[in-house]
Chain A
Amino acid sequence: MPVSPPSPMRVAAPLPDRAGVGLKADHVEEILAGRPDLGFFEIHAENYMGDGGPAHRRLEAVRALYPLSLHGVGLSIGSPKPLDKEHLKRLVAVARRYEPGMFSEHLAWSSHNLGFLDDLLPLPYTAQTLATVCDHIDQTQEALGRRMLLENPSTYLLFAESTLSETDFIAEIGRRTGCGLLLDVNNVIVSATNHGFDPIAYLDAYPLRHVEEIHLAGYAEAQDDAGRPLLIDAHDSPVREGVWALYAETIRRIGPTPSLIEWDNDVPAWPVLFAEARRAEASMARVAVATQEKALSHAV
């Protein structure tokens, strides 16, 4: 795989503390024509693992104008199986090609003996699984030559053998591997509803100082066997009010942070998606103003 030198035709790589959105083919023409005032775009790495063609041409044009966040959905870090070395190589190639400001993956597994299952599947939280996940993150960070961010999952069920809470599990991964964290606020609301815990308590227990990116998305609603609400991480609709509220609380605690709107299914027209990103920026701006006012009142 040829390594292209850093392109002088591109904007700098680091993600600003602003809002971004997931890049969709249908929006690219409008984005290139209008150059919307936005912090960054995020792509799913696996969609750019073909050799060439229109997808790469579009991404190259967008990357020239905006920083990029590279988000993997297929590395299967939470699997008991060894990491797929070929896939890791493909990931390194995409990272070299587009110089993303950030790389993130999930606390989940997606491949097993049967093949790739195309979903972010849950794992038990034990000393044994912790060691495996940390080993996989070490290998990933070494291959990429950079620190990665790990994303907290949406889950629909738990495991009898789990001995650690999700927040303790994630905090310990951060300690052992030095990786950063991607806090998906929608996933917190989804899991909190599904398992009956308090999302604020989750934030309290979460190692927030390591959060370098936030995800926001819409969920769908179903029911479990007992008829209790079961939320599904669907990425097919606007961010819900409860998620916006938890986002504002998160930003109040950690300050403005690169924040992504994920909308992958039933993708709306560009202005609708852009408006969601503007709302995240407005939320960050309000917190920044409130923090300044507080600082001023202390100074007086």
Chain B
Amino acid sequence: MACALTKTGSNFTATTGSVVTVNVIADNTTITGAKYNDQAIPFQSNSTSFTVVNDGALLQLALAGPPETVEFVEDCGGGQTQHLFGYQNQFQPTVSFIIIGN
């Protein structure tokens, strides 16, 4: 399956209406809150999904955990993933992505 997000500069673009699933890969780090386009969206301990809106919108994730290596990927389905962002040996309380729907 094709991934929905395409990286453009530091932002991501996607077709409006497409459903995106973002996974957090880490030993312990857990999602504690998620918002997209200023609305709370459902989340599980390590994933959240949303439908891309037209124009730019912010995806915000709140995270809890120790300083460690964390990777954010798009779950493209069929076992395929796409790397979005990551860091090593850090604790970041929150990360955000600008996603532009077109």
Report whether chain A binds chain B: no
Residue positions of A touching B, CB distance < 8 A: none
